[in-house]
A and B are shown apart, each in its own frame.
Chain A
Amino acid sequence: MSALHIQVNGEAREIPSPATVEDLLHRLGLDPRTVVVELNRQIVRRPRLAETPLAEGDAIELVHFVGGG
């Protein structure tokens, strides 16, 4: 099984191919309801997480709300 080399929040990560964005969230132990996902600067809406495949070199940003003023 080959691996995809991707960037997650600026860190290099590997994930077995094929994989979707939802697979990545599960591997990271993240509940899709608590994060917002950006794939190569485009937001991936929650209903599409499971149908959005990851590709070699993808840049993913996973954000959420933190304390702020």
Chain B
Amino acid sequence: MTATAQAPVSMDSPLEIGGRSFRSRLLVGTGKYKSNELMLRALEASGAEVVTVAVRRVDLDRRKEEGMLYHLDPTRFFLLANTAGCYSAEEAVRYARLAREAGFNDFVKLEVIGDRETLLPDVEGLLVATRTLVAEGFKVMAYTNEDLVTALRLEDAGCVAVMPLASPIGSGLGLLNPYHIRTIKRRLQVPVIVDAGVGTASDACLTMEQGVDGILMNTALAEATDPVAMAAAMRHAVEAGRLAYLAGRMPRREVAVPSSPVRGMLASE
């Protein structure tokens, strides 16, 4: 890390989630990369500390290739297990318990999906699963839609972070609803991490400018032509958006205001 890359972050406070403190506000997934080597280089370039993983059956025939722990150093990255692919609260709770048993931490990125085409969340199942997992001592980070009332209920149910989507998972459509994201951030006490839908650096920057605490992305990096370069771009975009939010933008005006003095102009004929 260069001194110039470090300077902006030092102007910000750490990201705190469930009693853990992180310097980077960019969280990244580990899915869909062409190779594990490419994934590791992208993670490195992203500066992310929190990386998500999924829980799946061991392939009994070719296990050496598949296990993420053969590639990711769990002492270097904070492994955040997800419940991706779960379509009921019961199933998500089962996956969360298995993930915790792996022995790294009590955090889970809870997903309860309600629709196969859009992968939009089943908010009812999400709330049921959250209550069960919180009662079992999990630190739940809930992937949800950009609905304020659901976000408030998730916070009330004990989530350590609420993760509204920018747009559907893997869509790359960017931040579709800045107003709702801003409102959720304004009304919640727990960190708001936008999860899913960011496609390119400007999406990430615009999202952070809404004041949210962080962004989680996967496909935007994994499906970029050059994932390592995109990871670096996203890192800068998240920092830029965060700093711009903290700096406080100028007001929008419908008319121009000159930047140079209007007095002291030469006499005209």
Contacts and interface: CB of A to CB of B under 8 A. Distances in A.
Contact of A45 (B70, B79, B101): B101
Interface in B25-60: 29-33, 36, 39, 52-58, 60
A68 B101 contact: no
Given A30-B58, A63-B56, A64-B58, A69 B218 contact: yes
A1 interface: no
Nearest to A8: B60
Contacts of A34: 67, 69-70
Given A43-B97, A68-B31, A69-B218, A11 B60 contact: yes
A64 B67 contact: yes
Given A66-B67, A67-B31, A68-B29, A36 B98 contact: yes
Interface residues of B, number: 39
Interface in A22-69: 28-30, 34-36, 38, 41, 43, 45-46, 61-69
Given A9-B58, A62-B58, A67 B69 contact: no
A67 B68 contact: yes
Contacts of B128: none
Given A30-B63, A34-B67, A34-B69, A68 B98 contact: no
A34 B217 CA distance: 26
B60 A65 contact: no
Nearest to B36: A67
Contact of B219 (A10, A30, A66, A69): A69
Contacts of A10: 57
Interface in B212-245: 216-219
Given A36-B98, A36-B102, A43-B97, A68 B84 contact: yes
A41 B84 CA distance: 19
Contacts of B97: 43
B98 A69 contact: no
Contacts of A65: 53-55, 67-69, 79, 81, 99, 102
A69 B52 contact: yes
23 contacts: A8-B60, A9-B58, A10-B57, A30-B58, A34-B69, A43-B101, A61-B98, A62-B58, A64-B58, A64-B67, A64-B102, A65-B55, A65-B68, A65-B69, A65-B81, A65-B102, A66-B31, A66-B54, A67-B29, A69-B29, A69-B82, A69-B84, A69-B217
Interface of B: 29-33, 36, 39, 52-58, 60, 63, 66-70, 79, 81-82, 84, 94, 97-99, 101-103, 169-170, 196, 216-219
